């Protein structure tokens, strides 16, 4: 048994248990993953060396600093600095975005992810990397199709508002999405640091997206921010689902309303805030994820920033059992929550609910977790 606060690497041999074999085998959807948080370490290092060569004597980031981003300690400080480095000087051309998407989808497909909705921040790409939305989108869509052909995984894009940029940039981003409409872009979200950047700032961007028929989600109730941010996302932004949302557990009446509406919460077992702030011996016991289903909330586990969090899709499911004590039957429910929360057409959802259910039961019988 590993300690609770260090996410296991599911690829390590000591973890080759019946549970892991079962969890690897089950088909999955992933609906909360950030493209820049899925960059492979080798790719990150290669781009760090490229940036250093271009900069001459004054590299913007040393190789040691780059490696440190992938060295996740017991009290992780979070990954925002690594993500900002990618926008600021590591991603320099559309082909870099193609590579990121293609590698992420390849890695996800290896864990039986069949449908992946991933976040990407067009504002940072345009303003920091210097790649305008249409060119960036073209490269990403090309990678989505290449991965579909090569790995059989369906990738979809969620254009995410960088909440640390001015609210006007959020509206501008929503206008780009609407003006350059592609079927691969399903909707919009908000991410980055929620502290001092509340959801109500982005109401105009959400209103525009909804009028254009786009789906919406929002990071809210993360970083210990109050449950009222979740309420704002639900009532004012009128989101279709919530990312994180943990502090909803502080407001049982509001949680009940979310439960009655069937809102799906995409949760992240490796979320840095709780690993850092809860005592090591209490981390898994006091984590709000553990309490959410008891309030009737529909949750679904996700990787968020898989390579930087040192976790895989299989690993997130393992943590739900190993760290939070959920049962195999609970997992079956979480799997269905993911399908219901995913932005796919109703015909496919019905078919996949049936197919995933059969595959889950067969894997359970085979591996006896």
With binding defined as CB under 5 A, does residue 117 bind Zn ion? no
Residues 6 or more apart in contact with residue 55 via CB below 8 angstroms: none
Query: Which residue's CB is nearer to Zn ion, number 128 or number 194?
Result: 194
Q: How far apart are CB 170 and Zn ion at their closest, in Å?
A: 16
Q: Which residues pair with 218 in a beta bridge?
A: 242
* 247: CB partners within 8 A, 6+ apart: 221, 224, 225, 226, 227, 229, 230, 288
Closest distance to Zn ion from the beta carbon of 234 (Å): 17
- The yes or no reply on residue 103 touching Zn ion (CB under 5 A) is no
Given the rule CB under 5 A, which of 42-50, 169-177, 279-287, 296-304 is the region that contacts Zn ion?
296-304
Of 353, 312, 358, 323, nearest in space to 335 by CA: 353
Residue closer to Zn ion (CB basis): 162 or 304: 304
CA distance 114 to 24: 13
- Asked if residue 128 binds Zn ion (CB under 5 A), the reply is no
240 is a contact residue toward Zn ion (CB under 5 A)? no
CA dist 231 and 256 (Å) reads 12
CB of 325 to Zn ion, least distance (A): 24
Nearer to Zn ion, 107 or 304 (CB): 304
**Segment 22 to 81, residues that bind Zn ion, using CB under 5 A:** none
Q: Between residues 109 and 220, which has the closer beta carbon with respect to Zn ion?
A: 220
What whole-number distance in Å separates Cα of residue 147 and Cα of residue 107? 10
Minimum CB separation of residue 28 from Zn ion in Å reads 17
Nearer to Zn ion, 44 or 119 (CB): 119
Does position 162 bind Zn ion by CB under 5 A? no
User: Least distance to Zn ion from the beta carbon of 343, Å?
Assistant: 16
> Which residues sit opposite 119 in a β-bridge?
34, 158
Site string (297-336) toward Zn ion, x via CB under 5 A: -------x--------------------------------
Q: Which is nearer to Zn ion, 25 or 86 (CB)?
A: 86
Number of residues that bind Zn ion (CB under 5 A): 1
| 155 phi/psi in degrees, rounded to 5 | -100, 145
Q: Which helix (H) or strand (E) holds 241?
A: strand 241-244
**Alpha-helical runs (H) found in the chain:** 18-25, 41-55, 63-68, 80-85, 94-109, 122-127, 133-151, 167-179, 203-211, 227-235, 252-261, 272-277, 283-286, 288-291, 306-309, 313-322, 328-341, 346-367
Which CB, 94 or 315, lies closer to Zn ion? 315
Which residue, 15 or 194, is less far from Zn ion as judged by CB? 194
- In the complex, the smallest distance separating the C-beta of residue 219 from Zn ion, rounded to whole angstroms, is 6
Q: Of 219, 160, 168, 169, which is closest to residue 195 (Cα–Cα)? A: 219
The nearest distance, CB 315 to Zn ion, in angstroms, is: 16
Q: Measured from the CB of residue 73, what is the shortest distance to Zn ion in angstroms?
A: 20
Closest contact distance (angstroms) between CB of 189 and Zn ion is: 8
Whose Cβ is closer to Zn ion: residue 94's or residue 313's?
313
Indicate whether 15 belongs to the interface with Zn ion (CB under 5 A): no
**H or E stretch at 246:** none
Per-residue contact string for residues 261-280; x = within reach of Zn ion by CB under 5 A: --------------------
State in Å, rounded, how far the first CA of the chain is from the last one.
15
State how far the Cα of 348 lies from the Cα of 361, in Å rounded to an integer: 20
Residues that bind Zn ion (CB under 5 A): 304
């Amino acid at each position: 048994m590993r300690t609770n606060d260090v996410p296991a690497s599911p690829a390590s041999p000591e973890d080759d248990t019946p549970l892991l074999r079962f969890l690897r085998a089950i088909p999955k959807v992933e609906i909360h993953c950030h493209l820049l948080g899925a960059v492979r370490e080798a790719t990150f290092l290669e781009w760090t060396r490229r940036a250093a060569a271009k900069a001459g004597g004054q590299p913007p980031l040393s190789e040691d600093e780059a490696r440190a981003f992938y060295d996740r300690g017991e009290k992780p400080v979070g990954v925002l600095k690594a993500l900002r480095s990618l926008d600021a000087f590591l991603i320099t051309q559309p082909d870099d975005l193609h590579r990121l998407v293609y590698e992420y989808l390849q890695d996800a497909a290896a864990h039986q992810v069949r449908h992946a909705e991933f976040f990407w921040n067009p504002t940072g790409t345009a303003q920091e990397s210097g790649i305008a939305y249409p060119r960036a989108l073209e490269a990403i869509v090309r990678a989505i199709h290449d991965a579909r052909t090569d790995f059989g995984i369906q990738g979809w894009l969620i254009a995410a508002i960088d909440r640390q940029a001015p609210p006007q940039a959020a509206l501008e981003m929503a206008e780009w999405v609407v003006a350059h409409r592609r079927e691969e872009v399903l909707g919009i979200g908000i991410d980055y640091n929620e502290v001092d950047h509340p959801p109500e700032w982005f109401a105009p961007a959400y209103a525009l997206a909804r009028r254009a028929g786009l789906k919406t989600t929002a990071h809210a109730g993360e970083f210990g921010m109050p449950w009222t941010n979740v309420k704002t996302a639900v009532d004012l932004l009128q989101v279709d689902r919530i990312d994180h949302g943990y502090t909803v557990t502080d407001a049982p009446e509001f949680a009940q309303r979310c439960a009655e509406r069937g809102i799906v919460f995409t949760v992240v077992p490796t979320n840095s805030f709780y690993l850092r702030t809860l005592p090591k011996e209490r981390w898994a016991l006091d984590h709000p994820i553990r309490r959410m289903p008891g309030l009737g909330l529909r949750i679904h586990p996700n990787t968020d920033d898989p390579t930087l969090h040192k976790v895989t899709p299989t690993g997130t499911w393992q943590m739900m059992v190993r760290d939070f004590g959920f049962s195999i039957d609970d997992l079956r429910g979480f799997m269905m929550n993911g399908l219901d929360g995913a932005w796919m057409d109703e015909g496919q959802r019905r078919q996949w609910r049936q197919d995933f259910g059969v595959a889950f039961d067969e894997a359970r019988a085979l591996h006896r977790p």
